[in-house]
């Protein structure tokens, strides 16, 4: 099917709107060379295209391309010659990781939307786009997030809701500008404590997953304003594990030196012991002045957020005795912990139920 330029809505300079024309092929012969050269935005969404033909590369100054809501199964090599393309919207097609040209990662995209497709993994080409600020792959069949995600150091928005993801790799924490992280409607069972390094994070969407607790470190996400947790078993089921290996003699000695502030000098001890003593962690129980090294108890404690919400946070205590003030019933576990209370003005929305 051939379309005529007259059929396209002339919405302004540099814009070609071929959306909703029932197109099954793209024939651009009727578009003048000058128009091709001048086109910066092209809308091909809501048609019946099965593949994006190489003739797209004739629009060499294209900055924005919307090919959403077609039946696309492949993107041709031609797209990789659109060196000025910054935004590619390809929502709701039939694309998977085999649909993309090998050199797709050489595009200088800032916004890429592949939501509503058939990707089973995040294509490696996507992790090569170092200028990417917004990556959306919601509503696909993703089972995991590759560690290479950490290459996308310009990323501000990562939308991966509605997939089959069962874990968050710690490499996600290496995205310094990440502001919106959407991982709702997946199968995630835990949040890595490293996420606390996401200093720019303002919104964390984790609803409808399989979370039973949050790492205590989540309290240090100082810019977090929105946290959605509804539809997780964490509020319903209280988890408490009491597996505890007795501390070694080395650990007991180390604990004594640290908790009683026994002085020591670098020349008195071998390097490995000095290093070991540096690894001491302070027991987070405010009623305990102790430290621990390798031997500790994993403990889930409900903590008040903003005076309204109680979140199950995981932390490690120095010994099983340290948990005695805490009850296994979250409702009666009402003691307040000054160090873990959160200023009410910080989290503006916590969606639990």
Residue numbers of the site for Zn ion (CB under 5 A)?
283, 285, 288, 290, 317-318, 322
CB burial of residue 188 (10 Å; 0-12, 13-18, 19+) = buried
- Report d(CA 12, CA 2) in Å as an integer: 22
Q: Least distance (Å) from Zn ion to the CB of residue 274?
A: 24
Q: Least distance (Å) from Zn ion to the CB of residue 172?
A: 31
Backbone φ and ψ for 217, nearest 5 degrees, come out as: -60, -15
Cβ contact 160:134 at 8 Å: no
Q: Least distance (Å) from Zn ion to the CB of residue 221?
A: 25
Q: Least distance (Å) from Zn ion to the CB of residue 296?
A: 9
Residue 8 or 318: the one with the smaller Cβ distance to Zn ion is 318
Q: Least distance (Å) from Zn ion to the CB of residue 288?
A: 3
Q: Least distance (Å) from Zn ion to the CB of residue 196?
A: 21
Please report, for residues 94, 191, 295, 297, the alpha-carbon distance to residue 286 in angstroms, rounded to integers and kept in the order given: 54, 24, 19, 15
Q: Are strands 281-282 and 291-292 parallel, antiparallel or unpaired?
A: antiparallel
Residue 195 or 318: the one with the smaller Cβ distance to Zn ion is 318
For residue 273, give the H/E element and its range: helix 271-278
Residue 63 or 217: the one with the smaller Cβ distance to Zn ion is 217
Residue 71 or 325: the one with the smaller Cβ distance to Zn ion is 325
Quick count: other Cβ atoms within 10 Å of Cβ 326?
18
Please report, for residues 77, 211, 312, 315, 320, the alpha-carbon distance to residue 299 in angstroms, rounded to integers and kept in the order given: 53, 15, 10, 5, 9
Residue 222 or 252: the one with the smaller Cβ distance to Zn ion is 252
Residue 112 or 291: the one with the smaller Cβ distance to Zn ion is 291
């Amino acid at each position: 099917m051939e379309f005529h330029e007259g059929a396209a809505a002339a919405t302004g300079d540099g814009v070609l709107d071929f959306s909703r024309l029932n197109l099954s092929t793209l024939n651009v012969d009727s578009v003048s060379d000058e128009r091709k050269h001048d086109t910066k935005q092209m809308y091909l969404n809501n048609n019946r295209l099965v593949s994006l033909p190489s003739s797209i590369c004739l629009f060499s100054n294209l900055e924005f391309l919307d090919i959403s809501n077609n039946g696309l199964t492949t993107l041709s090599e031609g797209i990789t010659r659109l060196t000025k393309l910054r935004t590619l919207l390809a929502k709701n097609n039939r694309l998977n990781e085999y649909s993309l040209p090998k050199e797709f990662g050489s595009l200088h995209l800032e916004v890429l939307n592949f939501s509503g497709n058939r990707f089973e993994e995040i294509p490696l080409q996507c992790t090569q786009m170092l200028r990417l600020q917004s990556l959306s792959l919601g509503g696909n069949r993703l089972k995991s997030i590759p560690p290479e995600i950490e290459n996308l150091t310009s990323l501000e928005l990562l939308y991966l809701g509605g997939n089959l993801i069962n874990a968050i790799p710690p490499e996600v924490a290496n995205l310094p500008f990440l502001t919106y992280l959407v991982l709702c409607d997946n199968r995630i069972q835990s949040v890595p404590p490293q996420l606390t390094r996401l200093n720019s994070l303002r919104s964390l969407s984790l609803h409808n997953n399989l979370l039973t607790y949050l790492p205590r470190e989540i309290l240090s996400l100082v810019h977090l304003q929105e946290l959605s947790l509804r539809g997780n078993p964490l509020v319903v089921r209280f988890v408490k594990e009491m597996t505890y290996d007795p501390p070694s003699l080395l650990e007991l000695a180390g604990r004594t030196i640290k908790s009683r502030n026994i002085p020591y000098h670098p020349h008195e001890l071998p390097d490995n012991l000095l290093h070991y003593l540096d690894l001491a962690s302070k027991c987070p129980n405010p009623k305990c002045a102790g430290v621990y090294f390798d031997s500790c108890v994993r403990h889930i404690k409900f903590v008040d957020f903003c005076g309204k919400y109680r979140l199950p946070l995981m932390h490690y205590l120095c010994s099983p005795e340290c948990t005695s003030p805490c009850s296994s019933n979250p409702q009666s576990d009402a003691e307040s912990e000054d160090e873990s209370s959160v200023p009410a003005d910080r989290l503006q929305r916590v969606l639990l139920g």
